[in-house]
Amino acid sequence: MNTGWKQGTLLRLIAFTDPYCTWCWGSEPILRKIEEIYGDQIKIEFVMGGLVKNISTFHDSTNSIGGEKMMDQIAIHWNEASSKHGMPVAGDLWLKSSGFTSTYPANIAFKAAEISNPNLAQKYLRRLREAAAAEEIFIHKEDVQIELAKEIELNLEKFIQALESGAAEKAFCDDLKLMRSLGVTGFPTFFVESSQGQGTYLHGYQSFSRFEEVFNQLNQGSLIKKEIIPNNENFVEFILKHEKVATKEVSEVFAVPKDEMYEKLVYLEKRNRIRRKKAGNGEFWISPSLE
């Protein structure tokens, strides 16, 4: 986690997360809306929480996950969560034979990206989430982690060195110590802090309006909001900027109902402004020039 304050930053939003967490994936539209509206005034950082240390002993009574049919239960949980948070998922990932035992390796991979290039680390985390959540790719495997690092043009030598030297694992352990010292036990959890040191915790998935309430409480309404205008040019610009986005993300950022937003994006697809890519039970929208 980078704890430095930059000029113009008024708040820090720290997300305690795990690359495999479906409700963290479901929070992506909200975080992207915060980025679009507030820009550098709010600095978003991530602390890796390690959702599952060992799948053989994992138990989540809240979501009825545990026991011999755990993988089936996780698949059901992901699909149910998707129906609520609106992001595409591929729950069938958990029905594959994969040798999966823990989410820790994916957390460590993010820390390796952070060590090798802090400026690309969040892009790498996003790529991990896309792969696991919507593309049926297990991200605990090192060869997958390296391939995804290559995709976003991380320095592979530095990335692999951080993995193999133990530096990334140590950084992950530091995140776990921080999380436990703060009493964080569920994901996502958010901590919003002002430059004066005042802070508020938010536990679980949060709406954009709830974040706004906290931002205003901590900064007395001094944040400057960018006006987000919902038109075709801005939809395309947003998609090209982020390279790959879900319908829910465009819907959330531009405050357009998801079904209506889908129809607008189909219209743009027909005019070759954007392209659709199947993603689990939904779709991603990408540039026509991307494979």
- Per-residue pLDDT, averaged over 77-95, amounts to 96
Please state the separation of Cα 161 from the chain's center in Å. 25
Domain containing residue 249: 232-286
Q: What is the pLDDT of residue 291?
A: 62
Same domain, 22 and 115: yes
220 in helix, strand or coil?
coil
Tell me: the pLDDT tens digits for 186-236? 999 999 999 889 999 999 999 999 999 999 999 987 899 999 999 999 999
Query: Are the C-beta atoms of 36 and 68 separated by less than 8 Å?
Result: no
- Per-residue pLDDT, averaged over 141-158, amounts to 97
User: Which among 116, 147, 181 is the end of a domain?
Assistant: 181
* Residue among 287, 277, 291, 264 nearest 134 (CA): 277
Query: Are the C-beta atoms of 87 and 282 separated by less than 8 Å?
Result: yes
Query: Are the C-beta atoms of 63 and 186 separated by less than 8 Å?
Result: no
The answer to whether residue 261 sits within a structural domain is: yes
Question: Tokens in use for 51?
Answer: 């959702």
Amino acid, res. 12: R
Domain count along the chain: 2
Distance set, CA 274 to CA 87, 98, 271 (Å): 19, 34, 8
- Per-residue pLDDT, averaged over 136-164, amounts to 97
Same domain, 41 and 172: yes
